[in-house]
A and B are shown apart, each in its own frame.
Chain A
Amino acid sequence: MRQKIDAPVSVMMDFNHYQNKIKPIQIQWNNRDFRIESVGMHHQFFKGKKLFHVFSVTSGGMFFKLVLNTENLFWKLSEVADGLSD
Chain B
Amino acid sequence: MDYLTSSDFNQGRNEKMLLDINSCFATIEQQANPLLRGKEVVVAAYENGGGCILAASREAKKLGIKTGWRVGEAQKICPNLVVLTPDVEKYQFINKGLKKILLAFSPNVQTKSIDEFAIDFKGVEGNLKEIGLKIKEKIREVLGEWITVSIGIGPNIFLAKVASNLQKPDGLTEINKDNFWEIYGKLKLIDLHGVNFKTAYKLEVNGIKNPQDFYNKSRQELRSIFHSVCADYWYWRLRGFEIDDKKRKYKKSFSAIFSLKIPAKNRQELAGILYQLCLKVGQRCDRQKMEAVGIVWWGGGNKININGKLRVREGMINGWEMFSKIYPKIPEFRGEIKKAVVVIYDLRPKSWQGDIFGQRQKIMKETEIAELINKKFGRGTIFPATILNCKRIPEFIGFGNVGHK
CB-defined interface of A24-68 with B at 8 Å, one 1/0 digit per residue? Answer: 000000000000001011011101111000101010011101000
* Residues of B within 8 A of A (CB-CB), count: 27
Partner of A82, one of B35, B47, B79, B92: B35
Q: In the bound complex, do residue A47 and residue B378 qualify as a contact, i.e. CB atoms below 8 Å apart?
A: yes
Partner of A81, one of B33, B89, B144: B33
Partner of A49, one of B28, B89, B90, B376: B376
Partner of A44, one of B47, B82, B93: B93
Q: In the bound complex, do residue B32 and residue A41 qualify as a contact, i.e. CB atoms below 8 Å apart?
A: yes
> Which residues from chain A contact B378 at a C-beta distance below 8 Å?
47-48, 50
Q: In the bound complex, do residue A61 and residue B35 qualify as a contact, i.e. CB atoms below 8 Å apart?
A: yes
- Given A47-B378, A83-B82, A85-B80, check contact A40 B93 (CB 8 Å): no
Q: Smallest CB-CB separation from A44: which chain B residue?
A: B93
- Please report the number of residue pairs spanning A and B whose Cβ atoms sit closer than 8 angstroms: 62
Partner of A45, one of B34, B47, B81, B92: B92
Partner of A41, one of B31, B79, B80: B31
Interface of B is mostly: helix
Partner of B33, one of A47, A56, A86: A56
Measured CA separation A81–B92 after assembly (Å): 22
8 A Cβ contacts from B62-100 to A = 79-84, 89-90, 92-94
**Most chain A C-beta atoms within 10 Å of own C-beta, residue among B34, B81, B94, B377:** B34
Q: In the bound complex, do residue A45 and residue B39 qualify as a contact, i.e. CB atoms below 8 Å apart?
A: no
Measured CA separation A63–B34 after assembly (Å): 8
Q: Smallest CB-CB separation from B89: which chain A residue?
A: A45
8 A Cβ contacts from B37-60 to A = 39, 47
Nearest-neighbour CB distance to chain A for B280, whole angstroms, equals: 15
> Which residues from chain B contact A83 at a C-beta distance below 8 Å?
33, 35-36, 39, 82
Nearest-neighbour CB distance to chain A for B43, whole angstroms, equals: 12
A84 within 8 A of B: yes
Measured CA separation A50–B39 after assembly (Å): 35
B362 within 8 A of A: no
B287 within 8 A of A: no
> Which residues from chain A contact B377 at a C-beta distance below 8 Å?
47-49
Q: Smallest CB-CB separation from A41: which chain B residue?
A: B32
Q: In the bound complex, do residue B34 and residue A40 qualify as a contact, i.e. CB atoms below 8 Å apart?
A: yes
Nearest-neighbour CB distance to chain B for A63, whole angstroms, equals: 5
> Which residues from chain A contact B375 at a C-beta distance below 8 Å?
48-49
Nearest-neighbour CB distance to chain A for B258, whole angstroms, equals: 20
Q: Chain A residues in contact with chain B, CB under 8 A?
A: 2, 38, 40-41, 43-45, 47-50, 54, 56, 58, 61-63, 65, 81-86
Question: Could you give 23 example pairs across A and B, Cβ below 8 Å?
Answer: A38-B34, A40-B32, A40-B34, A40-B144, A41-B28, A41-B144, A43-B90, A43-B93, A44-B93, A47-B377, A48-B375, A48-B381, A49-B376, A56-B33, A58-B33, A63-B35, A65-B32, A81-B33, A82-B35, A83-B82, A85-B80, A85-B81, A85-B82
